[in-house]
Structure 1
Amino acid sequence: MAHSSDAHASHDANVYYVPHGSRWPVFASVALFTTMVGFASWLNEVSWGRTVFFVGLAGLATILFWWFRDVIRESLRGYYNKQVDTSFRMGMVWFIFSEVMFFAAFFGALFYARQYALPWLNGEGDGIATHALLWPNFAGGWPSNGPGAIGGSYLSMPAWGLPLLNTLILLSSGVTVTIAHHALRAGHRKQLLIFLGATVGLGALFLYFQGTEYIEAYKELNLTLGSGIYGSTFFMLTGFHGAHVTLGTIMLAIIWLRCARGHFSKDDHFAFEAVAWYWHFVDVVWLGLFMFVYVL
């Protein structure tokens, strides 16, 4: 049974709900820091790195679960009015913008390596001195592991196998989540659950094929994180994108559960919209990644 103050907050459009002091951001920051320290140590073959990584990851997942619970409860109790909804929308827009800048940095590194660093090492343009003094015998184009042939010989990942299949899967998931959104706005509950569930399934299928691709890269192509500039940019871009797909799939699954429990109406469902925006962002990033990492 809702408290009277809850009901008052839900009906008074002039009341702006100010959340109580939350401990979750601090805990999440610590867990995320622990995860990244563990991951970096694992990559550098530190004995405890792998354990610390999984401890941090488990802690982060637990914290996010309780944090999501609190936000969902506040929403269901009617604390959020139109002002809060506007704040949420602006916050999500800026969050996605920060993610755009995040991936722009890695795409920028890829562009620099391909368009400037390698040509200079080949003696083109301003790299004449670099080529003559450091690597006079180097002549190579993209993909390359550099004049030092770091990581040994390897084969690049072909675009028209699993990457193309994953592109079709992710584009299809963009269609299914859009259909689910229209179904929610139209009040078609069964259609909503079917297509949103299909989106979750397609996201999981994408991750399965990406894992298969990584196994093929390491075992059959000798393409690893240690394969010079090509290997590092390939796995950094596809790996971080895969992490975003993982997070998006988890959020979509939570939204599916909330839809099944009737948490949203056709006029009040920002949580669904926010996750849909995020998922479309993931789709767009993959299209750029597919073109610039696999095709070109």
Structure 2
Amino acid sequence: MTTGNEHYFVPEPSRWPIIAVVGIFFTLFGVVLAINDVASGSVVSIFGLAVLVYLFAGWFGDVIRESRSGSYNGQVDISFRQAMAWFIASEVFFFAAFFGSLFYIRTIAIPSLAGEGHLASSHLLWEGFRDVWPLLMLPDDSAYVPAREAMGPMGIPLINTIILLTSGVTITWAHWGLKADRRGHLVGGLAVTVALGCIFLGFQVYEYIHAYEALGLTLKSGVYGSTFYMLTGFHGLHVTMGTIMLVVILVRSLRGHFTPKEHFGFEGVAWYWHFVDFVWLGLYLFVYWL
């Protein structure tokens, strides 16, 4: 397609969207089967994830080859930036929904069950219910397993906060190195950022094991247990995705794919990583501290 004197690159019809649908379907279908204790659920999910890995490798590979061949111009670069901005905006609203749920539970639902607020009559549902947080159990003890203790803000949560904040500095340092055409700074900054992301995930796995075994904190430990694992778990998934993207960008940097003027592939991943850092600060404040 031609606009004025510029040619806007339009790719050929692609098989990747169909493959994406297949991968997403089998992944989610397998999860549904696993939740309902169907033995084949895990196998179906693994198949779906394998299809998604093939999808990302192939589709991203096509985009990289198109970029390296010089098919993209300034207009395409603007389109990529707008798309990434909208993607991150959708992620903001995704986490906003979880933070909103946490806010509703703590400021409206629990007080109303204790006889406070404009829904004060809700206290009739459970006699003697008290407004406490973290709520580690519900009155129906037969259905929920109370935890012995909530997660505190010190220790691993604090260490992980320092790690993610440091990773934001290192990826910014790598960006400065790229713009200054200093490959050593670029590659070194990216390598350190990848290492910090992996360390963060390792600490989070250890934290989950500690929470289950030492604190008795599970998804069934009242509303606190479910919100804790949903919020931190989805954030951990995003850190995993971000780390994989950083590895790809690191490999591309080693191959000399980026220049000081043309490097949106790097910038898009850096935007995403800074978003992950920002979300963690909110999690650390509202889940661990308050």
TM-score by length of 2: 0.94
- What pairs with 1:170-189 in structure 2 (closer than 5 Å)? 170-189=164-183
2:235 is the alignment partner of 1:244: no
Q: Are the aligned partners of 1:41 and 1:48 in contact in 2 as well (CA < 8 Å)?
A: yes
> 1:218 corresponds to which letter in structure 2?
Y
Give, in angstroms, the shift of residue 275 of structure 1.
0.2
2:137 is the alignment partner of 1:152: no
Q: Are the aligned partners of 1:13 and 1:82 in contact in 2 as well (CA < 8 Å)?
A: no
Give, in angstroms, the shift of residue 27 of structure 1.
1.3
CA–CA separation in structure 2 for the residues paired with 1:169 and 1:126: 42
Give, in angstroms, the shift of residue 42 of structure 1.
2.5
CA–CA separation in structure 1 for the residues paired with 2:36 and 2:150: 24
Aligned residues: 285
CA–CA separation in structure 1 for the residues paired with 2:206 and 2:257: 36
Q: Residue 157 of structure 2: SS of its match in structure 1? A: helix
- What pairs with 1:22-61 in structure 2 (closer than 5 Å)? 22-61=14-53
In the alignment, what sits opposite 1:78?
A: 70
In the alignment, what sits opposite 2:116?
A: 124
In the alignment, what sits opposite 2:262?
A: 268
Q: Are the aligned partners of 1:157 and 1:294 in contact in 2 as well (CA < 8 Å)?
A: yes
Gaps of 5+ in 2: none
Q: What is the percentage of aligned positions where both structures have the same residue? A: 55
Give, in angstroms, the shift of residue 176 of structure 1.
0.2
In the alignment, what sits opposite 1:210?
A: 204
Q: Residue 94 of structure 2: SS of its match in structure 1? A: helix
Tell me which moved more, 217-226 or 202-211: 217-226
Q: Residue 220 of structure 2: SS of its match in structure 1? A: coil
Give, in angstroms, the shift of residue 59 of structure 1.
1.6
Give, in angstroms, the shift of residue 54 of structure 1.
1.9
Following superposition, which runs of at least 4 residues in structure 1 exceed 4 angstroms of deviation? none
CA–CA separation in structure 1 for the residues paired with 2:58 and 2:22: 15
Query: Structure 1 residue aligned with 2:128, among 137, 143, 154?
Result: 137
Q: Residue 38 of structure 2: SS of its match in structure 1? A: coil
> 2:171 corresponds to which letter in structure 1?
V
Query: Structure 2 residue aligned with 1:105, among 84, 97, 100?
Result: 97
Give, in angstroms, the shift of residue 219 of structure 1.
1.4
In the alignment, what sits opposite 1:4?
A: none
Give, in angstroms, the shift of residue 70 of structure 1.
0.5
Give, in angstroms, the shift of residue 52 of structure 1.
1.9
CA–CA separation in structure 1 for the residues paired with 2:139 and 2:118: 17
Q: Aligned in 2, Cα 1:140/1:51: closer, same or farther, shift over 3 Å?
A: farther
CA–CA separation in structure 2 for the residues paired with 1:109 and 1:211: 24
In the alignment, what sits opposite 1:6?
A: none
> 1:210 corresponds to which letter in structure 2?
Q
RMSD of aligned residue pairs (Cα, Å): 1.6
> 1:107 corresponds to which letter in structure 2?
F
In the alignment, what sits opposite 1:3?
A: none
Q: Residue 57 of structure 1: SS of its match in structure 2? A: helix
> 2:126 corresponds to which letter in structure 1?
W
Q: Are the aligned partners of 2:34 and 2:42 in contact in 1 as well (CA < 8 Å)?
A: yes
Q: Are the aligned partners of 2:178 and 2:259 in contact in 1 as well (CA < 8 Å)?
A: yes
Q: Residue 117 of structure 1: SS of its match in structure 2? A: helix
Query: Structure 2 residue aligned with 1:198, among 192, 203, 208?
Result: 192
